[in-house]
A = this chain, B = another copy of it.
């Protein structure tokens, strides 16, 4: 593993100096190699699926693992689309001139080496590798043991694409073992060779990475997202936003898990919102006031307020005004994504300023918590930490910067 790290660090230097054209050529060559090697990749995937089936994995698990020609084409197309995004490296982030004439520029540079630890979805191999490559970073990818054959076949295609463009194959390395100790080694940073770790997977993986990593981590453990229907919310808008935030896709991290309705509008808004959710197939677990609005409401317990259901279930409470709503979100939320529905600009401004979440929205669905929806093109994950990246982690968030100073012979007095 330490050798893997050394090779990644060396490749990172070559990538940092590679031109946009070279990186894009490599991405296109990777997409082409994935298409050319489709039979081998699909055969490897069939072996992975057969083994996972024999081990009794769930249907949902097998669906995440399985590739077919259409899905593999989507993987190749996603790599191509990253070639079309602007290069985040070399951007001028700030320029200023000092009274002594020094011209200081802050310029985006690659981060270095990114470690990505993922589970069953083999497409992460290509997605994460391609994003890291475009941002000038070397990648060390650790695939879930269930998708190891598929990921290996994809990694071989990526190595071929890199080589065709004249970039080191070590720029995107797959950990060449299913040995679980490899994850622990990555979390130590491989002797300084890994600059940041990105876990992609379930809560137990993310929790382990966050607990044990000795290097920075871009991750979110939970998405306990709230929609607060303020006293001055338009009921029709609240209905659309609440329904979309909860039910569009219940398994995504930006799905709403808690509905807060202001007591000042509960008389008019609570009952129709609850009826709408239940009518749409959503279980509503409410406090006493919410239970009073509809006999089908299930009593909520304190375990419901911090719950991330990832399912058609919502916790619901009536709150006494904006301050109580913000306090509820701060106490029980996960600082991921939270929304207020209101026609009151002052209330919205306070909610946006005072809720300490990566993403806060006014009059829009929490399901917009996604790098693609931000126009970031592609993302490697969503971060709820406060260091470096927060919210969608796209190409820009995979860069660092340095200061480049141009003088005319200045010395410091």
Q: Which A residues contact B (CB, under 8 angstroms)?
A: 13, 16-17, 90, 96, 98, 102, 104, 109, 111-112, 195-196, 214, 216, 234, 237, 240-241, 243-245, 248, 330, 348, 352-354, 356-365, 367-368, 373-375, 386-388, 390-391, 400-412
Given contacts A195-B386, A374-B104, A412-B367, contact A361 B407 (CB under 8 A): yes
In the A-B complex, list the 8 residue pairs whose CB atoms are closest, starting with the nearest: A364-B407, A244-B411, A386-B400, A388-B388, A367-B412, A237-B409, A361-B405, A363-B407
Q: Which residues of B contact A407 (CB under 8 A)?
A: 361-364
A402 touches B360 (CB 8 A): yes
- Copies per complex of this chain: 2
Q: Among B13, B245, B361, B368, which residue has its beta carbon within 8 angstroms of that of A330?
A: B13
B387 touches A400 (CB 8 A): yes
Nearest to A196 among chain B residues (CB) is B387
A403 vs B196: C-alpha distance in the bound complex, in angstroms? 22
B356 touches A16 (CB 8 A): yes
Q: A96-B375, A361-B406, A374-B403 are in contact. List 9 more A-B contacts (CB 8 A).
A: A90-B353, A109-B356, A214-B214, A352-B404, A353-B404, A356-B402, A360-B404, A390-B402, A391-B403
A363 touches B248 (CB 8 A): no
A406 vs B98: C-alpha distance in the bound complex, in angstroms? 37
B402 touches A240 (CB 8 A): no
Nearest to A96 among chain B residues (CB) is B375
Highest count of chain B CB atoms <10 Å: which of A234, A363, A409: A409
A359 touches B13 (CB 8 A): no
A410 vs B391: C-alpha distance in the bound complex, in angstroms? 19
Q: Which residues of B contact A348 (CB under 8 A)?
A: 406
Nearest to A354 among chain B residues (CB) is B17
Nearest to A355 among chain B residues (CB) is B402
Q: Which residues of B contact A368 (CB under 8 A)?
A: 102, 405, 410, 412
Q: Which residues of B contact A400 (CB under 8 A)?
A: 386-387, 390
Q: Which residues of B contact A237 (CB under 8 A)?
A: 409
A373 touches B98 (CB 8 A): yes
Query: Shortest Cβ distance from A94 into chain B, in angstroms?
Result: 9
Q: Which residues of B contact A409 (CB under 8 A)?
A: 234, 237, 240-241, 363-364
Q: Which residues of B contact A408 (CB under 8 A)?
A: 363-364
Q: Which residues of B contact A96 (CB under 8 A)?
A: 375
A243 vs B387: C-alpha distance in the bound complex, in angstroms? 38
Query: Shortest Cβ distance from A350 into chain B, in angstroms?
Result: 10
Query: Shortest Cβ distance from A97 into chain B, in angstroms?
Result: 9
Q: Which residues of B contact A361 (CB under 8 A)?
A: 404-407
